[in-house]
């Protein structure tokens, strides 16, 4: 990885894990773990697109549900490249020890 790629990776990991990620070595293993993290997060984000939004007071549930199905489908088409922050953070939490091991070189 070149210097710019390492800095981009470092900035992402610092935003995710905090300042302690600033001292981690930015190498191929760290990049590969980040790639896996984003792939796992993507699966969560795909599922989140289909979660209905809250039912506003006074709305007819059947009409609301039909609209939610349409909107979920359109969100899926539109947000193919976007991920929910909660999904990225959950994947990071699950993989935290792998990143720590990579930072230590083990």
The string over 73-82, giving b where at least 16 C-beta atoms fall within 10 Å of a residue's C-beta and e elsewhere, is eebeeeeeee
* pLDDT value for 101: 93
Tokens at 68, concatenated:
């939610």
Would the pLDDT of 35 be above 70? yes
Q: Looking at the whole model, is its pTM more than 0.85?
A: no
| Domain span including residue 50 | 3-104
Average pLDDT, integer, range 78-89: 79
Among 95, 5, 103, CA closest to 44: 95
* pLDDT value for 74: 79
Domain tally, the chain = 1
Residue ranges of alpha helices (H) inside 1-106 are 3-17, 28-48, 61-78, 85-104
Between 97 and 83, the higher pLDDT residue? 97
Average pLDDT, integer, range 26-53: 89
- When the pLDDT of each residue in the chain is averaged and rounded to a whole number, the result is 88
CA atoms within 13 A on the CB side of 36: 13
Query: How far is C-alpha 21 from the chain's CA centre?
Result: 17
Instruction: Categorize the per-residue pLDDT at 42 as very low, low, confident or very high, splitting at 50, 70 and 90.
Output: confident
């Amino acid at each position: 990885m070149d210097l710019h790629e390492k800095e981009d990776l470092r900035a992402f990991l610092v935003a995710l894990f905090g300042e302690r990620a600033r001292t981690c070595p930015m190498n191929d293993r760290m990049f590969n773990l980040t790639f896996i993290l984003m792939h796992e997060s993507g699966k969560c984000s795909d599922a989140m697109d289909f979660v209905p939004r809250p039912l506003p007071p006074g709305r007819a549930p059947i009409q609301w549900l039909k609209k939610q199905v349409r909107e979920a489908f359109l969100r899926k088409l539109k947000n193919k490249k976007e991920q929910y922050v909660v999904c990225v953070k959950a994947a990071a939490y699950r993989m935290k020890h792998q990143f720590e091991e990579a930072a230590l070189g083990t």
